[in-house]
């Protein structure tokens, strides 16, 4: 009897301490505190374990210390975030958007860039391979997913050719997303041919990893920098559009832009910070090199976010853009699990008369996210947001266009994983012509989509509505 009382008391103390940690943890939304408290009370043993493994954004003390050291070593992205260095090429009505971006990564908006929207996924790989083949000094690649398929192996071969002629090639992948490539013969072949390779957030022992840092924190960035003159930014991983690991959802439909000009150095900064966090190689000299010469007229800015960057940085970026819309707001995203303020911002755009359209994939590779996303449809439709579901494959493009003049493109989704758990990179730019190109691509998506109406949502069976809303309730703890 005494042992039972002691065991119960110890268990109750553990539950109580965990709940206090939930309530005292900084930078947590009230909905998240409530959700975790309910989970811990309803499932005391399992709930405590779940919270310890997945309840906090913990990258691990060693990794966090290494990243802080690298951050302190690297030159600042700009001299003083508080000073006014905004380019006159950005109208006053949009300058606050770039101030938000600068407050996150420290990168100022820089003029003098030019960019091209790639035609499709295969054309993107064609252009990357051509640029790698023309490289003279260095090639830097970072991908969340790099598959050993046709396109993936084409990039492998291009890197090997570049290394053979004396170009310094560095390739980094996420330890989970690209585990197939890391375990393949191609990874070792690249290393043997002189390509420097590295894993971001390697998992190591999967049984031990969760106890020293969350196993599901990932580097979701897609960065290519060539000779410090060319960079690519968009949603595409290094793979075929058929995406054989999830072929039943194919083709993967992505959008990537190729940039030249001063903004390249900002993507270079992100890559180097990631590389030096895992590799003992000092690349600061590359950041001291002169910025690429201005080759165009596009003001652009890199926005890099992640679990060790400012809390809520990515949703703040999206919300600022939504609130700035006056005529038109068009968004494509495969994953939509917003926080309350983002959902409110999107609804508010429609309420004030902005033509607000959002495009999702009709078939999502994540059944959890698909259900959670659809739980928000009714409120969006009631506000006047027009919802479309793309039926030509898995629409993976992450794009936002604002009033036909401003574009955000990159790797970040509109879900809590991109907000809190993933390292992401995006580029924000102001240019009517380039934004027009992105709008044309969005119109292609719309033409291949089915519009979802309020009547459609109202006709969903009760069990489907219950399922969607129940999954959405887990959003704050996912």
222-236 residue pLDDT tens? 999 999 999 999 999
CA angle, residues 252, 419, 107, in degrees to nearest 5: 95
Is domain 61-90+107-302 annotated with CATH 3.30.870.10?
Answer: yes
Smallest Cα–Cα separation from 356: which of 332, 333, 329, 331? 329
Smallest Cα–Cα separation from 221: which of 231, 203, 240, 234? 234
Kindly report the pTM of this predicted structure: 0.91
pLDDT value, residue 418: 93
pLDDT value, residue 2: 56
Q: Cα(4)–Cα(9) distance, rounded to whole angstroms?
A: 8
pLDDT value, residue 19: 67
Q: What is the DSSP string of 394-424?
A: EE---EEEETTTEEEEES--BSHIIIIIEEE
pLDDT value, residue 13: 75
Q: What is the DSSP string of 118-150?
A: -SSHHHHHHHHHHHHHH-SSEEEEEES-B-SSH
pLDDT value, residue 81: 40
Q: Which residues are catalytic?
A: 220, 222, 227, 396, 398, 403
Residues 6 or more apart whose CB falls under 8 angstroms from that of 427 comprise: 233, 257, 259, 263, 267, 300, 301, 302, 303, 408, 409, 410
Q: Cα(435)–Cα(402) distance, rounded to whole angstroms?
A: 8
- CATH match for 313-477 among 3.40.462.40, 3.40.50.720, 3.30.70.1400, 3.30.870.10: 3.30.870.10
Q: Cα(338)–Cα(58) distance, rounded to whole angstroms?
A: 21
Residue whose pair of structure tokens reads 């995406």 in the numeric block: 243
Smallest Cα–Cα separation from 263: which of 415, 146, 114? 114
CA distances from 426 to 106, 128, 170, 182 (A): 14, 18, 21, 25
pLDDT value, residue 86: 56
Do residues 308 and 62 make contact, with C-beta atoms less than 8 angstroms apart? Answer: no
Q: Cα(179)–Cα(376) distance, rounded to whole angstroms?
A: 34
Q: How many CB atoms lie within 10 A of CB 440?
A: 10
pLDDT value, residue 54: 67
pLDDT value, residue 83: 39
pLDDT tens for each residue of the chain, 478 residues long:
656 655 556 756 776 777 677 776 676 677 677 777 777 777 676 766 667 666 667 777 788 788 888 888 888 875 444 434 456 689 999 999 999 999 998 999 999 999 999 999 999 999 999 999 999 999 999 999 999 999 999 999 999 999 999 999 999 999 999 999 999 999 999 999 999 999 999 887 776 766 677 778 899 999 999 999 999 999 999 999 999 889 999 999 999 999 999 999 999 999 999 999 999 999 999 998 777 777 789 999 999 999 988 888 999 999 999 999 999 999 999 999 999 999 999 999 999 999 999 999 999 999 999 999 999 999 999 999 999 999 989 999 999 999 999 999 999 999 988 998 899 999 999 999 999 999 999 999 999 999 999 999 999 999 998 888 888 876 655 5
Q: Cα(337)–Cα(36) distance, rounded to whole angstroms?
A: 17
DSSP structure class, residue 238 = B
Backbone φ, ψ for residue 414 (5° rounding) = -95, 55
pLDDT value, residue 402: 98
Residues 6 or more apart whose CB falls under 8 angstroms from that of 284 comprise: 73, 74, 75, 272
Do residues 408 and 371 make contact, with C-beta atoms less than 8 angstroms apart? Answer: no
């Amino acid at each position: 009897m005494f042992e039972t009382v002691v065991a119960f008391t110890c268990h109750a103390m553990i539950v109580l301490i965990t709940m206090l940690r939930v309530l005292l943890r900084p930078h947590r939304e009230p909905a998240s505190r409530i959700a975790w408290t309910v989970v811990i009370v309803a499932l005391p043993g399992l709930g405590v374990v779940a919270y310890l493994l997945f309840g906090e954004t913990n990258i691990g003390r060693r990794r966090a210390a290494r990243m802080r050291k690298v951050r302190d070593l690297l030159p600042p992205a700009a001299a003083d975030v508080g000073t006014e260095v905004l380019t006159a090429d950005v109208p006053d009505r949009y300058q606050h958007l770039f101030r938000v971006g600068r407050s996150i990564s420290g990168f100022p908006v820089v003029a003098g860039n030019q960019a091209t929207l790639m035609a499709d996924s295969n054309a993107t790989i064609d252009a990357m391979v051509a640029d790698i083949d023309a490289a003279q000094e260095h090639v830097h690649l970072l991908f969340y997913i790099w598959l050993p398929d046709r396109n993936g192996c084409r990039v492998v071969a291009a890197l090997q050719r570049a290394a053979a002629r004396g170009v310094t090639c560095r390739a980094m992948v996420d330890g989970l997303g690209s585990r197939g490539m890391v375990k393949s013969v191609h990874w070792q072949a690249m290393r043997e041919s002189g390509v420097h390779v590295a894993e971001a957030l390697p998992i190591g022992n999967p049984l031990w990893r969760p106890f020293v840092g969350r196993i599901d924190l990932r580097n979701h960035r897609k960065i290519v920098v060539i000779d410090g003159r060319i960079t690519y930014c968009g949603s595409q991983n290094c793979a075929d559009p058929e995406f054989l690991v999830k072929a039943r959802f194919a083709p993967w439909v992505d959008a990537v832009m190729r940039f030249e000009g001063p903004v390249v150095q900002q993507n270079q900064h992100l890559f180097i910070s990631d590389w030096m966090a895992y590799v003992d190689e000092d690349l600061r000299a590359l950041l001291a090199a002169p910025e690429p010469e201005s080759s165009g007229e596009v003001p652009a800015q890199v926005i890099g976010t992640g679990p060790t960057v400012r809390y809520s940085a990515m949703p703040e970026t999206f919300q600022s853009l939504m609130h700035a819309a006056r005529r038109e707001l068009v968004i494509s995203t495969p994953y939509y699990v917003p926080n309350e303020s983002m959902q409110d911002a999107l609804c508010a755009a429609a309420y004030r008369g902005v033509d607000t359209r959002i495009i999702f994939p009709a078939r999502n590779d994540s059944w959890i996210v698909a259900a959670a996303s659809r739980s928000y449809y009714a409120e969006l439709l009631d506000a006047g947001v027009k919802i479309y579901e793309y039926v030509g494959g898995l629409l993976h493009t992450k794009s936002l266009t604002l009033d036909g003049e401003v574009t955000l493109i990159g790797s970040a989704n509109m879900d809590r994983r991109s907000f809190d758990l993933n390292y992401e990179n995006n580029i924000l730019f102001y240019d009517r012509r380039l934004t027009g190109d992105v709008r044309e691509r969005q119109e292609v998506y719309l033409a291949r989509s089915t519009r979802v109406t309020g009547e459609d949502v109202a006709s969903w069976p009760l069990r489907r509505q219950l399922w969607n809303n129940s999954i959405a309730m887990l959003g704050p703890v996912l």
